[in-house]
Structures are given as C-alpha cells and as structure tokens.
C-alpha cells in the first residue's frame, strides 16, 4: 500500500507537534533529529504550526560559537481544545491549551437510571459552558470538542451504547451535539480515545503498531497502525473483548458467550472470586469497584485467595493477549482502564508467562506489555487529542496551498 502525500504530511505534522509538546523548549534541529525529518521539512512544518498558533518561539539557546538557536514550545496563548469523557454515571469535561495541559475541568453527574440522549447532550453542553465561562473565553476560541462515549460510533456520528440502563441504538449524537455546540465535534469511544492518548503522551509514543487494552466493566482494544488509529470498515475494529476464549462459556453484558470480557471484565473477576471462595470478605456483591479495590489491597498484602483470583484472571487475559499478538504483531500492548489501574501490575506478572506459552515465538519476542503511565484521565485527554489530530489533518496554513 502506498502512502499518499497528504498522509505523509499529516503523520509528519503529528510527529513534530508531539515532539514539541514532549520536549519543549526545543530547537528545530533537535526536533528534526528526533522525528527523523530533514531540517527543511521540519522548518516548514514548524512555520505551519506557528501560523496555526500551536507553536511559538520562547527565547534562544547558545550554540557553542554559532548563531544562537530559537527554542520552540506549544503556544500557551493559542487555541483551546475540549475533551469530554462520558461514562455511565458522569460527564467529565476538560479544557486544554496547545500543550494539552488541563486548564479547567468540570464534572456533571448523570442520573443512574435516566439517560435519554437529550439529557446527556444537555449535560455535555452544560459542562462545556462551565469550563469556557470559568476561563472567561468565548466558544469560538475553542478549536473543537472531542467526545468519548462508551459504545460503538459509526462514521456518520451515530452512537449505540451498550451499558446498564442505557438503551441507545443509532442515536445521531454528533448532529445533536453540533446543534447545541456550534464548533467541530469529534466523536469516538474510550478505546480509541485512550489509544490516541497513549500514542501522544503514554507508553506508545513514537511507536507505530500498538494495541491499547481497556480493562474495566467492559473490555476492548484500540489499535494503531503506522502511528494512526485503525478504524476498520465501520469503525468497530478492536472488539477484541468479544473474541471467543471458551466454547459455551460464561456470558458477557452484550450477550455473547465465552468471550474475553466475560472472563477478564470486572464482573468476570468477581465470578472467579465467588468460585474460589464464595464467602470471601473481599467479595462485595453488586459492587464491582469495592470488590476490585479490595482485591488490589489484598494482593499487596499477599492474600492467597486474591492471588488465586488474579492467577485465574491472568490466565484468560494471557491467552486473549496471545491471540492478539499472533493476529496483530504489535510492538507494544498497553493496559489501561480502572481495573488495570488497580490490578495491572499483578495481572502482568501472570499474563507474561501464559502469553509467552500460547503466542508464537516470533511475534511474542517483538512485543512488550506495559501499564498506562499517564497520570491523568487518559480518556478526556485522548478525546481532546482527537481534536488536535483532526485540526492538524484538516488545517491549511495560509502560506500553504
Ligand atoms: Zn462478549
């Protein structure tokens, strides 16, 4: 497959902007070296980014006798980006500067049993109003809003959400949002938002072939190929959580039987605990968060029941990862999501030997498994980064054609 000229330019813009964010203050020459572009191409892209007010010059660096070099950084006075993380119980809104640093955040609670699309759109609009008002800026200072919704998002912006008490099928969410918030809206799910965050700020920075596994109540993967998100034919690539592990096995929330999610999602982990010790004090029935937290604490204390639960979970996850490694041959597999946050370190201990046994040697030796290193909400960060990527893909600086 040949990359088009536009693809190359887009990927190069992403790489330069990422590097300026990560290494500011930084000289053009060091950016060129780090991203592997010529000085001329780098200078060209930097002047585009400067014109788009994403990058600015912040002083000079002496360079042993030669001319001092101008140093680059993301423009703190540049445009703003909004990232929205929608979950079953909350709408989390953050507003970012061009370094993708959070300036202000807002959290709106969602009613656990009442979530028609109009109500959720209303909460999103209200959160956006709160953060722009608090910063004292009009909406047109914001380049766009990235929205992550837990479900499947079609290329036309229609969303289906499969969560307890939500009954969204093909809701025209992007149109509804644009009607309320008249700026560009980028809509996707948390799997892909987290993956973009890993590519720009996390364990996958600078890598090309990447799988980011979200472990929570649901389980899924975000895939990146050549450093860009892989969408598939209908934007549903990465439903690895519903690939089969056990014929006629346990059922997941979506109703499929024996899938990875049924054994590795929070409800699956609770089932392992219930089987190993039905009377365990670690088990808080009907409360996934409390049970997973209790398991995390017990593991740190060396509790033998918790260790058995994590071994059982790690066995299923390890086989699921081996299948993914054989199919996709990624350079890195990153574990993210709230279950990975609490249990990830212990899971990886068990996953590594199992995956090594079930995967073929060649792809296995080319991959590593890591925990998400991002110390803030990777979903809203990734949603805002979708806006940055969309803008960099579409924007044309006035000096360019
Ligand atoms: Zn399933």
Shared-domain flag, residues 180 and 214: no
Average pLDDT over residues 37-45: 96
CA gap 145, 184 in Å, rounded: 6
Residue 399 lies in a domain: no
Strands 90-96 and 55-61: what pairing?
Answer: unpaired
Q: What is the pLDDT of residue 111?
A: 85
Q: What spacing in Å lies between the alpha carbon of 229 and ligand 1's midpoint?
A: 22
Which CATH number does the domain housing residue 339 bear? 3.30.420.40
Question: What whole-number distance in Å separates Cα of residue 226 and Cα of residue 204?
Answer: 12
Distance from C-alpha of 332 to C-alpha of 337, rounded to nearest angstrom: 16
Q: How far is the CA of 263 from the centre of ligand 1 (A)?
A: 9
> Per-residue pLDDT averaged across 22-28, rounded?
95
pTM for this one? 0.93
Using the 8-state DSSP alphabet, how is residue 380 labeled? H
pLDDT, residue 401, reads: 39
Q: How far is the CA of 257 from the centre of ligand 1 (A)?
A: 6
Q: Quote the ligand 1 centre to 13 CA distance (angstroms).
A: 38
How many angstroms is it from 73 CA to the middle of ligand 1? 44
Query: What separation in Å is there between the alpha carbon of 155 and the centre of ligand 1?
Result: 22
Give yes or no: residues 60 and 86 share one domain: no
Dist. CA 196 → ligand 1 center (Å): 24
Instruction: Report the alpha-carbon distance of residue 113 to residue 165 in Å, rounded.
Output: 6
Q: Which of 74, 108, 135 is the last residue of a domain?
A: 74
CA 369 to chain centre: 16
* 366 and 234 within one domain: yes
Residues 213 and 277 in one domain: yes
d(CA 121, CA 108): 11
- Residue 34 pLDDT more than 80? yes
Quote the ligand 1 centre to 227 CA distance (angstroms): 28
Ligand 1 centroid from CA 37, angstroms: 43
Report the separation in Å between the CA atom of 237 and the middle of ligand 1, taken as the mean of its atom positions.
14
Residues 329, 239 within the same domain = yes
Determine the pLDDT at residue 399. Answer: 45
Query: 325 with 214, same domain?
Result: yes
Domain total in the chain: 3
Rg (CA), the chain: 22
User: In this model, does residue 31 exceed pLDDT 90?
Assistant: yes
Does residue 401 sit within a domain? no
Q: 72 C-alpha to center of ligand 1: Å?
A: 47
More confident residue, 78 or 5: 78
What's the confidence (pLDDT) of residue 394?
Answer: 87
| Last residue of one domain, picked from the residues 40, 74, 108 | 74
CA distance 42 to 50: 12
pLDDT at 56 > cutoff 60: yes
Residue 2: per-residue pLDDT: 58
* 213 found inside a domain: yes
Q: Tell whether 179 and 295 lie within a shared domain.
A: no
Report pLDDT for 397.
59
Residues 68-85: pLDDT tens digits?
A: 788 999 999 999 999 999
Token couple for 109: 């609670």
Give the residue numbers spanning the domain of 29. Answer: 5-74
Distance CA 12, CA 31 (A): 11
How high is the pLDDT of residue 400? 47
- State mean pLDDT over 146-156: 93
Determine phi and psi for 8, rounding to 5 degrees: -60, -45
Q: How far apart are CA 297 and CA 268, in angstroms?
A: 19
Q: Hey, which residues does 187 pair with through a beta bridge?
A: 147
Residues 92 and 216 in one domain: no
Mean pLDDT calculated for residue range 311-335: 98
In sequence order, the 6+-apart residues with CB closer than 8 A to the CB of 345 are 371
> Do residues 174 and 236 share a domain?
no
User: Is 345 part of any domain?
Assistant: yes
- Distance CA(117)–CA(151), nearest Å, equals 13
pLDDT for the residue 3: 66
Distance 268 CA to ligand 1 centre (A): 11
Distance 105 CA to ligand 1 centre (A): 33
319 CA distance to ligand 1 centroid (A)? 15
Is 231 in the same domain as 339?
Answer: yes
Q: What is the mean pLDDT of residues 281-286?
A: 94
Of 57, 74, 91, the residue that ends a domain is 74
Tokens representing residue 264 in the block: 């590795």
Q: Would 262 be classed as within a structural domain?
A: yes
What is the distance in A from the centroid of ligand 1 to the CA of 195? 21
Average pLDDT over the chain, rounded to whole? 94
Question: Residue 307 Cα, ligand 1 centroid: separation in angstroms?
Answer: 25
Answer yes or no: is 352 within a domain.
yes
Q: What is the pLDDT of residue 6?
A: 79
Give the largest Cα separation in the chain, rounded. Answer: 74
C-alpha distances (whole Å) from 394 to each of 183, 237, 387, 391, 397 are 14, 23, 10, 5, 10
Q: How far is the CA of 54 from the centre of ligand 1 (A)?
A: 42
Going from the Cα of 290 to the center of ligand 1, the distance in angstroms, rounded, reads: 23
Q: Ligand 1 centre and the CA of 369: distance in Å? A: 23
Q: How far is the CA of 348 from the centre of ligand 1 (A)?
A: 22
Q: For tokens 């006798």, what's the residue?
A: 65
Same domain, 131 and 221: no
pLDDT on residue 217: 92
Q: Could you tell me if residue 120 is inside a domain?
A: yes
119 alpha carbon – ligand 1 mean position (Å): 28
pLDDT tens sequence across 180-221: 999 999 999 999 999 999 999 999 998 999 999 999 999 999
Tokens representing 94 are 């953050």
Say if 400 falls within a structural domain: no
Helix runs in 254-375, H state only: 260-264, 266-276, 288-300, 304-328, 338-358, 361-365
User: Between 190-201 and 5-23, two packed helices, what is the crossing angle to 10 degrees?
Assistant: 70
d(CA 256, ligand 1 centre) in Å: 4
Distance 244 CA to ligand 1 centre (A): 8
Q: How far is the CA of 250 from the centre of ligand 1 (A)?
A: 9
Q: How far is the CA of 241 from the centre of ligand 1 (A)?
A: 6
Q: Is the pLDDT of residue 162 over 80?
A: no
Q: Are residues 331 and 386 in the same domain?
A: no
Integer Cα distance of 143 and 389 in angstroms: 11
271 CA → ligand 1 middle, Å? 15
pLDDT of residue 337: 96
Pairing of strands 102-109, 142-148: unpaired
Residue 52 in this model has a pLDDT that exceeds 90: yes
% of residues, the chain, pLDDT over 90 = 84
pLDDT the model gives residue 165 = 75
Distance 149 CA to ligand 1 centre (A): 18
| CATH code of the domain in which 31 resides | 1.10.10.10
Residues 12 and 19: their CA atoms lie apart, in Å, by 11
């Amino acid at each position: 497959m040949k990359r088009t000229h536009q693809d190359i330019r887009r990927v190069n813009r992403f790489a330069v902007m990422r590097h300026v964010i990560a290494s500011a203050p930084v000289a053009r020459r060091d950016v060129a070296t780090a991203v592997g572009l010529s000085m001329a191409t780098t200078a060209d892209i930097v002047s585009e980014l400067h014109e788009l007010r994403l990058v600015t010059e912040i002083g000079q660096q002496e360079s042993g006798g030669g001319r001092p070099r101008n140093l680059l950084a993301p423009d703190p006075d540049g445009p703003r980006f909004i990232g929205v993380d929608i979950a079953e119980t909350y709408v989390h809104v953050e507003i970012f500067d061009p370094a993708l640093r959070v300036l202000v955040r807002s959290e709106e609670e969602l009613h656990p049993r009442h979530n028609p699309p109009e109500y959720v759109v209303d909460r999103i609009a209200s959160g956006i109003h709160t953060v722009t008002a608090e910063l004292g800026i009009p909406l047109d200072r914001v380049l766009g809003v990235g929205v992550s919704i837990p479900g499947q998002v079609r290329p036309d912006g229609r969303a289906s959400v499969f969560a307890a008490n939500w009954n969204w099928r093909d809701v025209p969410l992007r149109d509804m949002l644009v009607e309320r918030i008249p700026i560009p809206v980028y809509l996707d799910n948390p799997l892909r938002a987290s993956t973009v965050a890993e590519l720009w700020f996390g364990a996958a920075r600078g890598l090309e072939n990447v799988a980011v596994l979200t472990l929570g109540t649901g389980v899924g993967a975000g895939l990146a190929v050549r450093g860009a998100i892989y969408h598939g034919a209908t934007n549903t690539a990465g439903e690895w959580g519903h690939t089969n592990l056990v014929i006629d096995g346990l059922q997941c929330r979506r109703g499929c039987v024996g899938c990875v999610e049924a054994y590795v999602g929070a409800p699956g982990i609770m089932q392992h605990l219930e089987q190993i010790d039905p009377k365990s004090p670690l088990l808080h029935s009907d409360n996934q968060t409390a049970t997973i937290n209790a398991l995390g604490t017990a593991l740190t204390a060396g509790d033998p029941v918790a260790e058995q639960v994590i071994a059982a979970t790690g066995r299923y996850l390890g086989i699921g990862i081996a299948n993914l490694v054989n199919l996709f041959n990624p350079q890195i597999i990153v574990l993210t999501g709230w279950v990975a946050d609490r249990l990830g370190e212990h899971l990886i201990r068990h996953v590594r030997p199992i995956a090594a046994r079930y995967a073929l040697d060649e792809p296995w030796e080319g991959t590593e498994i890591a925990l998400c290193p991002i110390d803030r909400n990777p979903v809203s960060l990734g949603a805002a980064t979708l806006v940055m990527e969309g803008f960099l893909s579409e924007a044309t600086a006035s000096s360019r054609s």
